[in-house]
């Protein structure tokens, strides 16, 4: 099959060897927000000062070329094969986990955005994850009830205000261990607000698994 990046015929699942080698692992990172650190498992300065609402966050790769091109194709060019590739890659380091979450929760899109795009990229990433890991997929557990402004041009404080009360929990989460799934974590504001919403509804633990971490 052709490589999803360069088009060269390859025997691997979606990427040729040279293109796969260009993807940059996120490496050692803060266990709450996945910000790169010199050593793995600690907390960054921001999370030490203000506890982040995620118990643990895994970001597989750095959000930079050529991964950013793959994510762009998934989100804006309807190349859903990219979701199958990246979802499978994200599942690989998680397979040894003994303490697994009970439910995989993709970050929801607002209905207007969903209608515009035609699919939720977070859900498309979560499908292969759930299948590989044998964890139930809770695609309708949460919904986005506010059509928020695009986050791209907002600073951290503006992002937090923009997302306030943007989500609603539609099922029972009391005492449960959940994991949120998304494509890219930039400041973490979206994941943080959704995690807070789930905690207010009674969730015992909320983690996050994302394909990529943006580092400014």
CA distance 100 to 198: 18
**What average pLDDT does the segment 191-215 reach?**
96
Mean pLDDT throughout 202-211?
Answer: 98
Given a cut of 60, is residue 209 above it in pLDDT? yes
Q: pTM of the full predicted structure?
A: 0.91
Q: What would the pLDDT profile of 162-192 be if each residue is shown by its tens digit?
A: 676 789 999 999 999 999 999 999 989 899 9
Q: What is the pLDDT of residues 75-113, one digit of tens each?
A: 999 999 999 999 999 999 999 987 899 999 999 999 998
Token pair listed for 114: 């969903």
pLDDT at 146: 75
Quick check: 144 and 122 in contact, CB under 8 A?
Answer: no
How many CA atoms lie within 13 Å of 174's alpha carbon, on the beta-carbon side? 1
Residues near 150 by beta carbon (within 8 Å), at least 6 away in sequence: none
- The pLDDT of residue 97: 87
Which tokens in the block code for residue 84? 């199958």
pLDDT in tens, 11-21: 767 899 999 99
Domain boundaries, the chain: 24-213
CATH number of the domain at 24-213, please?
Answer: 3.40.50
- Inform me whether the pLDDT recorded for 151 exceeds 70: no
What is the length of the chain? 216
Confidence label for 148 from pLDDT (cuts 50, 70 and 90): low
| Peptide bond connecting 66 to the previous residue in cis, omega within 30 degrees of 0 | yes
The answer to whether the CB of 215 falls within 8 A of the CB of 62 is yes
Confidence (pLDDT) at 153:
58
Nearest residue to 182 via CA among 19, 62, 93, 58:
58
204 in the Ramachandran plot: left (φ > 0), alpha (ψ -120 to 50) or beta? alpha
Specify whether the CB–CB gap between 125 and 137 falls below 8 A.
Answer: no
The pair of three-digit structure tokens given for residue 96, joined into one six-digit string: 């040894």
Give the whole-angstrom CA distance, residue 27 versus residue 105: 24
For residue 48, which of 61, 58, 37 has the smallest C-alpha distance? 37
* CB contact burial 99-130 (16+ within 10 A = b; e otherwise): eebbbbbbbbbbeeeeeeeeebbbbbbbbbbb
Mean pLDDT score of the chain: 90
């Amino acid at each position: 099959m052709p490589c999803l990046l360069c088009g060269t015929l390859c025997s691997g699942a979606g990427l040729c060897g040279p293109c796969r080698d260009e993807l940059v692992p996120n490496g050692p990172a803060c266990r709450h927000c996945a910000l790169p650190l010199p050593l793995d498992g600690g907390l960054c300065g921001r999370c030490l000062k203000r506890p982040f609402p995620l118990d643990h966050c895994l970001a597989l790769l750095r959000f930079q070329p050529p991964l950013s091109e793959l994510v762009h194709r998934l989100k804006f060019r309807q190349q859903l094969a990219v979701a199958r590739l990246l979802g499978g890659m994200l599942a690989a380091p998680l397979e040894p986990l003994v303490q697994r979450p009970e439910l995989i929760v993709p970050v929801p899109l607002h209905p207007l955005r969903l209608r515009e795009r035609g699919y939720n990229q977070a859900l498309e990433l979560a499908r292969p994850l759930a299948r590989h890991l044998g964890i139930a997929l809770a695609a309708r557990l949460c919904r986005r009830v506010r059509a928020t402004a695009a986050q791209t041009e907002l600073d951290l404080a503006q992002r937090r205000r923009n997302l306030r009360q943007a989500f609603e929990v539609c099922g029972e989460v009391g005492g449960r261990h959940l994991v949120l799934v998304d494509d890219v974590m930039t400041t973490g504001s979206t994941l943080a607000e959704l995690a807070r919403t789930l905690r207010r509804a009674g969730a015992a633990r909320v983690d996050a698994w994302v394909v990529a971490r943006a580092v400014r």
